[in-house]
A and B are shown apart, each in its own frame.
Chain A
Amino acid sequence: MVEIYIDNTLLDMPEEGVNFPLNYSIADIREPDKRQQSFSKTIVLPSTKTNDKLFTHAFNVNRSGGYNANTKASCLVIQDGVEVFNGYARLSKIKQSAVRKFSYEVVIYGSLANLFFDIGKDKLGSLDFSEFNHEYTKENQENSWDTSIIQNSSAVAFEYGNGYVYPLIDYGYSANQVDYKVTELYPALYAKEVWDKIFSTYGYTYESSFINSARFKRLIFPFTRERLELSNKQIEDRLFEAGNSAKQELEFNSIGALATIEFNDDSSGNNFDNGGNFNVVTYSYTVPDTGYYTFSARIFMGIRLVPDTTASVTCNLPSLTCQWRIKKNGSYIALYTAGANTSNIPAFTTSYESANAPNPDPDNIWNYNYDPNWANLVTPTVVNHLCQQGDVITIEMAQINLNLFDSSTLFTDGVTNYSGKAYFQVKTGSIFYNKINNIGLVEGGTVDMNTILPVDIEIKSLLNSIIKMFNLYVEQDNNDENNYFIEPRNDFYDNGVEVDFDSTDKLAFDREQEITPMGALDAGRYLWTYKEDKDYYNQKYIESWGEIYGQHFEDVQNDFVKNEIKTEVIFSPTPVADTGFSDMVMPRIFQQDSNGSIKPYAANMRILYYNGLRNITGQSWNHVAATTSVTHLDYPYCGHLDDPFNPTFDLNFGVVKEVYYDDTYTTLNWTNANVFNEYHKQFIDEITNENSILFSGYFNLTPKDVYDLDFRNNYYFLQAYWRLNKVIDYNANANDLTKCEFLKLKNVSPFVATTGVVIGGADDIEEYTPPKLKTVINYNNNNYNKRANDVTVSGKDNTVHYSARSIDVVGDGNVIGADAERIKVNGSNNTIAGGLTDVTLINTDNAEILESGITYINGVEIAEEDLENRSRWARVDLTSSQILSLNTTPITCIDAPGAGKIISPNKIIISKGGLTTAYTSNTNVRFTFGDDSTRIYTADGILATAAPYSVEAEPTYLGSGTNFPPNTALKVYTDTGNPRTGNGSLTILINYSIYTA
Chain B
Amino acid sequence: MAITIDQQVTGMATAYNPIDYVLSSTNTSETSFKFISDVYVNGVKRHRYLTPADPNYSNGFIDIASIIESYLTFDFDTALNDDSIKNNPNSIAEVYVDFGEQYDVSGVITDFSGLATSETLEVINGSLEYEDYIGFDYTDYYNNSSALTKFLTNAPVNRTIPSDMNAWLYMYNDNSTVYLDRVRVRTYDSTGTLNGLFLFSNPYRGGGSYTDNHVRFPVGANLNDVTGVTVNSGALPILDADVASYDVQTFDNGITRTSELRTYTRDLTCTGFDRYTLHFINELGGFDSFAFDLVHKINWSKEQSNYMTHGYTRSEDAVTRNLTKHQRRSYHTQTNKAIRITSNWITEAESIWLRELFDSPIIYCEYPDGTLVAVADIDLNTYEEKQNIIDKTFNLEMTVNLAWNNYRQRR
Contacts and interface: CB of A to CB of B under 8 A. Distances in A.
Interface string A483-523: 00000000000000000001101011111000000000000
Contacts of A59: 66
A698 B331 CA distance: 13
Contact of A64 (B49, B73, B329, B331): B49
A737 B314 contact: no
Contacts of B67: 57, 60
Interface in B31-77: 36, 46-52, 62, 66-67, 69-73
Contacts of A502: 310, 314
B158 interface: no
B305 interface: yes
Contacts of B331: 700, 735, 737
B300 interface: no
Q: Would you call the interface of chain B mostly helix, strand, loop, or mixed?
A: strand
Given A53-B70, A505-B329, A60 B307 contact: no
Contact of A735 (B62, B66, B72, B305): B305
A173 B267 CA distance: 113
A58 to B, nearest CB: 11
A700 B51 CA distance: 57
A503 B70 contact: no
A503 B411 CA distance: 12
A416 interface: no
Nearest to A509: B308
A505 B310 contact: yes
Interface in A28-85: 49, 52-53, 56-57, 59-60, 62-66
Contacts of A870: none
Given A57-B47, A503-B314, A509 B309 contact: yes
Contact of A49 (B70, B309, B329, B334): B70
Nearest to A508: B307
B138 to A, nearest CB: 22
Report the interface size class on chain B.
Answer: 20 to 34
Interface string A179-209: 0000000000000000000000000000000
A735 B334 contact: yes
Interface in B396-411: 410-411
Interface in B61-118: 62, 66-67, 69-73
Contacts of A100: 66
A51 B332 CA distance: 31
Contacts of B332: 735-736
Contacts of B51: 62
Report the interface size class on chain A.
Answer: 20 to 34
Contacts of B328: 510
Given A62-B49, A510-B308, A737-B307, A505 B66 contact: no
A48 to B, nearest CB: 8
Contact of A66 (B36, B47, B69, B314): B47
B62 A62 contact: yes
Contacts of B50: 62-64
B343 to A, nearest CB: 28
A597 B310 CA distance: 76
A639 to B, nearest CB: 55
A702 interface: yes
Contacts of B334: 735
Nearest to B52: A62
Contacts of A53: 46, 70-71
Interface string B326-341: 0011011010000000
A507 B51 CA distance: 62
Contacts of B66: 52, 57, 59-60, 100
Contacts of B410: 702
Contact of B48 (A65, A505, A508): A65
Interface in B376-411: 410-411
B47 A507 contact: no
Interface string A696-710: 001010100000000
Nearest to A698: B307
B310 A509 contact: yes
A46 B86 CA distance: 32
Contact of B307 (A49, A57, A62, A510): A510
A462 B334 CA distance: 52
Contact of A63 (B49, B52, B71, B305): B49
A632 to B, nearest CB: 68
A505 B70 contact: no
Which of the listed residues B46, B49, B305, B307 has the most CB atoms from chain A within 10 Å of its own CB? B307
A505 B411 contact: yes
Contacts of A56: 46-47
Contacts of A702: 410
Nearest to B411: A505
A502 B309 CA distance: 9
B47 A49 contact: no
A993 to B, nearest CB: 102
Contacts of B52: 62
Nearest to B67: A57
A57 B70 contact: yes
Contacts of A508: 307-309
A49 B310 contact: no
Contacts of A52: 66, 69-70
A600 B40 CA distance: 76
Contacts of A57: 47, 66-67, 70
Interface string A733-762: 001110000000000000000000000000
A374 B176 CA distance: 94
A748 B73 CA distance: 68
B69 A49 contact: yes
B48 A63 contact: yes
A182 B406 CA distance: 80
Interface string A780-821: 000000000000000000000000000000000000000000
B314 A700 contact: no
A910 B346 CA distance: 147
Contact of B49 (A60, A735, A737): A60
B335 to A, nearest CB: 13
Nearest to B313: A503
B47 to A, nearest CB: 6
Which of the listed residues A59, A508, A511 has the most CB atoms from chain B within 10 Å of its own CB? A508
A535 B209 CA distance: 87
A52 B334 CA distance: 32
A905 to B, nearest CB: 98
A624 B51 CA distance: 83
A626 B82 CA distance: 98
Nearest to B376: A15
Nearest to A52: B70
A641 to B, nearest CB: 52
Nearest to A718: B310
Nearest to A66: B47
Given A59-B66, A62-B49, A66-B47, A507 B305 contact: no
Contacts of A736: 305, 332
A883 B67 CA distance: 104
A56 B70 CA distance: 10
A57 B67 CA distance: 7
Contacts of B313: 503
A100 B15 CA distance: 13
B48 A507 contact: no
A49 B334 CA distance: 29
Interface pairs A-B: 8 shortest CB-CB: A510-B308, A735-B332, A508-B307, A505-B309, A64-B50, A64-B48, A49-B70, A52-B70
20 contacts: A52-B69, A52-B70, A56-B47, A57-B47, A57-B67, A57-B70, A60-B49, A62-B62, A64-B49, A503-B314, A507-B309, A508-B309, A510-B307, A510-B328, A698-B307, A700-B331, A700-B411, A735-B331, A735-B334, A736-B332
Given A503-B314, A505-B309, A505-B411, 19 more contacts: A49-B70, A49-B72, A53-B46, A53-B70, A53-B71, A56-B46, A60-B47, A60-B66, A60-B67, A62-B50, A62-B51, A63-B49, A66-B48, A100-B66, A507-B309, A507-B310, A508-B309, A509-B309, A510-B328
